[in-house]
Structure 1
Amino acid sequence: MYNGGDHYDGNGGGAANANSLFSGGGFMPSQTTNTPEGSGGITKTRGAQTLLPLTVKQIMDASQTNDDKSSFAVNGTEVSTVRLVGRMMNKAERMTDVQFILDDGTGRIEVNRWENETSDTTEMGLVKDGDYVIVNGGLKSFQGKRHIVAYSVRLVTNYNDITHHFLYCIYVHLDLAKAKKSGTQPQVTANASWNQAPPPNNQAPTLSASGNAGGQDLTDMVMNVFHDPVLVNLEHGVSIEQVASRLNISDALARSTVTHLIDVGNLYPTIDDNHYKSTLNG
C-alpha cells in the first residue's frame, strides 16, 4: 500500500527528520467517539473534519459508513478532509473551476478546485501538468465515483515533502489499525514540535529580538493562537485578521506564516482562503 515511495525522487530526506515527524500528532484524529455496537464499529472524529494524510489507494479502499454513501471510513475511522501528494495530470481550466487527475503512485483520483476568488485563480496558475502538488480537500462521491474537492493546491518545491507525506500516511495507518484492533482510541500527543520539519530553504519568518516576543519563533506563536481555548471552537476556524490582531503583526506576515504552517501540515483552510483550523484540533 505504501510502496509508492520508490516512484518519487524523494532524495531520502524523510529519515533524517524521523524523530520530529513521529514525536507529535498533528495529523492524528482528535477527540474521537466510539459509536455503539451494531453501527459497524466506526469511530467518528469530531465532525469528521480532522485532516488525514492518505494515499489514493486508501481512499479507493475506504468503506462507506451510511446508506446514502456520503461518508467514508479508513481503518474504522470516519474521514472527510484529506491531504494527498502526487503528480498533476490532465489539467483542464474551465470558467469557474480547474479539474485535474492526481497520480500518487498508488492510484489516480479526480480533483476539482473551484475558483471563487482571485487568489484561487492565482494559486492554480502556479501549477501545471507534471508538477508534484500538495492537495488539501474534502473527499466526496458522485454517482459512485470518488473525487476530491480541493481547498488548496500547492506546488511541491522540496521533494522531501513527498517522502514526509508517505511517512505520515504509514504512521497514521499503523496508529489507527492498532487502535481498531485493541478497541482503544487513537493516541494524540501534543508537544512543542507540532510535527514541524521544514527544509532549510523553506523557513517561516521569525520575530527579531526587538519583536513582540523577544525572538520567539513566530510559527509557535501563531500555533498558540489557533490553540487558544477562546478561538479553538469557532465553527469556521481562525481568520488571518484574528492572528494579526492577537500578535500585533501585519496581515501579510500573518498570512505568510499561516501558509508555511499549511505546507508543513499544521493548519488547513476551512470555508475560504482567510479561515483556518489546526490539524491537531480538527
Structure 2
Amino acid sequence: MSQNDYYGGGGGGGGFLQGGSPYSQMGSPGSGQQRSEAASSLRPINSFQYRKAEQPHNDAPWVLDGFEVGLVTMVGHLVSMHLQTTNHVYTLEDGLGRVEARHWVGSSTNAEQEMEKWGDIKEGIYVRLTGFLKSFGGKKYINATYMRPVTDFSEIDFHFLECITVTLTLERGPHYNFGTGQQQNATGVKSSSAYQLDNSMDIRDEYSHLPPLEQQIIRYLISQDQKDGVHVANIARAIGKSDEDADKLSTAMDSLMDNGHLFNTIDDCHFAVSR
C-alpha cells in the first residue's frame, strides 16, 4: 500500500534499483538474509498504521510501534484501480486514510489462474488485501499477493477490532496464555506475532475449528518448516490427494489463503503457514 506510480513514469537504464526490486516480496534473493518468524506472520493493519510503519534502511525489516512487520492484511473500499502493462495499481480507503497496493503482472506462470485470482476485483467494492510492505524510490506501497471482494460487511468491523486486539496484545501482553514469542533480533527490534502460540500449546487448539482437509494441509506445512515454503504438488502427495481431488485441494488452499492462514513465498506455487 502506498502512494506512487512506480515504473509508470518510465525511467530506465541498467544497474541496481535503489530500494530493491519492486518485483521481489522479500528483497534480493541473493542477499543471504534470514527471515525472522515475524516475516512470516500475518499482521492486520489499517491505513493509519500503514503510514506509521517504517523501514530504517533498505535491507532492514519494516517496523510498526517497535515490532517487526512481515505479511500484512487490511480491509478497505477500492476507490480506484489503474491497470498498467507491468503492474496493477489499487487505491484503498478505510475511513482513516488511503493506501496504495500493487500487483505485478506476469508473476504467475498461468494466465488463466491469474485472471481467476484477480478477475473479481472491481472499483467501488470493499476488498481484503494481503501482501508485504515495500518501498521504491522513497514511496511506500503494499506488494499485493492476494485480494478478494468482501461479501460479508461485518468483516469490515471485525477487521478494525482485530487491528485493535493485535496491537494491544503486542503492547500489553496476551490476556491469556497465547504467547507472543517476543524476542529481539540483532537490531533490537522485537520479533513477535500476535498469532504465534506458545510452543507448549497443542497445534489442535489453534486449528481445530478448520475443516479436516485444511487441518491436514496446515499440519503438513508446519511439520516441514521450510522458509521458502512447500510446493503445492508436494502438499498434494503428502496428504494423499489424486488428480481427481485437485479441485478440493485448490478450494481448501484458497480458503486458507482467504483467511490468512497461508501465504505464497517464492512463487505462486509455494506456500507457508502464517504464524
> TM-score, normalising length from structure 2?
0.69
Q: Which residue of the partner structure matches residue 129 of structure 1?
A: 123
**What is the CA-CA distance between 1:128 and the residue it aligns to?**
0.4
Partners of 1:47 and 1:85 lie apart in 2 by 21
213, 220, 223: which is aligned to 1:218? 213
Q: Deviations over 1:169-208 (max 9, x none)?
A: 11210111125xxx982563254353787xxxxxx8x5xx
2:141 aligned with 1:157 = no
Q: Which amino acid aligns with 2:261?
A: N
Query: Percent identity over the alignment?
Result: 28
Q: How many residues align?
A: 214
235, 243, 259: which is aligned to 2:227? 235
Q: Which residue of the partner structure matches residue 13 of structure 2?
A: none
C-alpha contact 2:43 2:71 (8 A) present in aligned 1: yes
Q: Which residue of the partner structure matches residue 88 of structure 2?
A: 98
SS of the aligned residue for 1:153 comes to: strand
Q: Which residue of the partner structure matches residue 168 of structure 1?
A: 162
SS of the aligned residue for 2:117 comes to: helix
Q: Deviations over 1:93-138 (max 9, x none)?
A: 1223211101122211111111223122332221101111111111
Q: Which residue of the partner structure matches residue 13 of structure 1?
A: none
C-alpha contact 1:75 1:176 (8 A) present in aligned 2: no
C-alpha contact 2:227 2:272 (8 A) present in aligned 1: no
Q: Which residue of the partner structure matches residue 52 of structure 1?
A: 43
Q: Deviations over 1:223-264 (max 9, x none)?
A: 111211xx11x2321222122111112332222101101112
Q: Which residue of the partner structure matches residue 269 of structure 1?
A: 264
Q: Deviations over 1:16-64 (max 9, x none)?
A: xxxxxxxxxxxxxxxxxxxxxxxxxxxx943633221111110101233
Q: Which amino acid aligns with 2:46?
A: T
Note the residue ranges of structure 2 that are not aligned, 5 or more in a row: 1-34, 174-179, 183-191
2:185 aligned with 1:194 = no
Partners of 2:97 and 2:218 lie apart in 1 by 34
Q: Which amino acid aligns with 1:244?
A: A
Alpha carbons of 1:171 and 1:270: their partners in 2 closer, same or farther (altered >3 Å)?
Answer: same
Q: Which residue of the partner structure matches residue 102 of structure 2?
A: 112
Partners of 2:71 and 2:171 lie apart in 1 by 19
Cα-Cα RMSD: 2.7
Note the residue ranges of structure 1 that are not aligned, 5 or more in a row: 1-43, 198-203, 207-216
Alpha carbons of 1:87 and 1:69: their partners in 2 closer, same or farther (altered >3 Å)?
Answer: farther
223, 236, 244: which is aligned to 1:244? 236
Alpha carbons of 1:184 and 1:235: their partners in 2 closer, same or farther (altered >3 Å)?
Answer: closer
